[in-house]
């Protein structure tokens, strides 16, 4: 069973655009990948606007000169349900605020809720309280 997460970004209008991610939603995996590889707004948007994903990785887009499928993905590339398996109904979702984001995505079984707030990644474990991913990763490294 996967550790499900929701990953999104806050728009200039204050809405949250987000997707579901099935695998490895815990801080040491998806939190670390987001913190280390998704700091630029264009790359975050490219990640989220592809829709729901099976697994997060360092790069949202595959090398077009090499094959990339759901069952045989390129190393280090995100695996999406729509792009890579042809599924429908897995488009990016938009929420009016953080509460709606957490409530709706928890219905999909999400345990971790990541949002890029325009400056940094923050995360909640479904409590409505968001902490800085960077701080939590530092705490884990010390423990």
pLDDT values of the chain reduced to their tens digit, one per residue, 143 residues: 589 999 999 999 999 999 999 999 999 999 999 999 999 999 999 999 999 999 999 999 999 999 999 999 999 999 999 999 999 999 999 999 999 999 999 999 999 999 999 999 999 999 999 999 999 999 988 76
pLDDT value for 101: 98
Give the angle 31-42-39 at the CA atoms, nearest 5°. 35
Residue 21 phi/psi, 5-degree rounding, is -130, 125
Give yes or no for a contact between 112 and 30, defined as CB atoms under 8 angstroms apart: yes
- The CA distance from 53 to 106, in Å, is 16
Strand positions, DSSP E, the chain: 5-10, 16-21, 53-55, 79-80, 93-95, 112-116, 121-124, 131-132
- Please say whether the beta carbons of 98 and 115 come within 8 A: yes
46, with CB counted inside 10 A (0-12, 13-18, 19+), is middle
> What are the boundaries of each domain within the chain?
5-142
Q: What pLDDT does residue 141 have?
A: 81
Nearest to 51 by CA among 15, 87, 103: 87
Is residue 129 helix, strand or coil? Answer: coil
Residues linked to residue 77 through DSSP beta bridges, in sequence order: 59
């Amino acid at each position: 069973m996967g550790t499900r997460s929701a990953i999104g970004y806050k728009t200039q209008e204050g809405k949250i655009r987000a997707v579901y991610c099935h695998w490895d939603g815990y801080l040491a995996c998806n939190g670390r990948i987001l913190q280390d590889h998704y700091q630029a707004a264009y790359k975050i948007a490219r990640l989220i606007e592809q829709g729901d994903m099976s697994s997060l990785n360092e790069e949202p887009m595959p090398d077009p000169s090499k094959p990339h499928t759901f069952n045989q993905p390129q190393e280090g590339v995100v695996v999406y349900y729509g792009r890579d398996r042809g599924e429908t109904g897995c488009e990016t979702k938009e929420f009016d605020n953080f509460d709606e984001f957490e409530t709706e995505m928890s219905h999909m079984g999400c345990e971790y809720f990541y949002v890029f707030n325009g400056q940094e990644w923050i995360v909640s474990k479904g409590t409505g309280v968001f902490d800085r991913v960077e701080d939590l990763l530092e705490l884990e490294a010390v423990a």
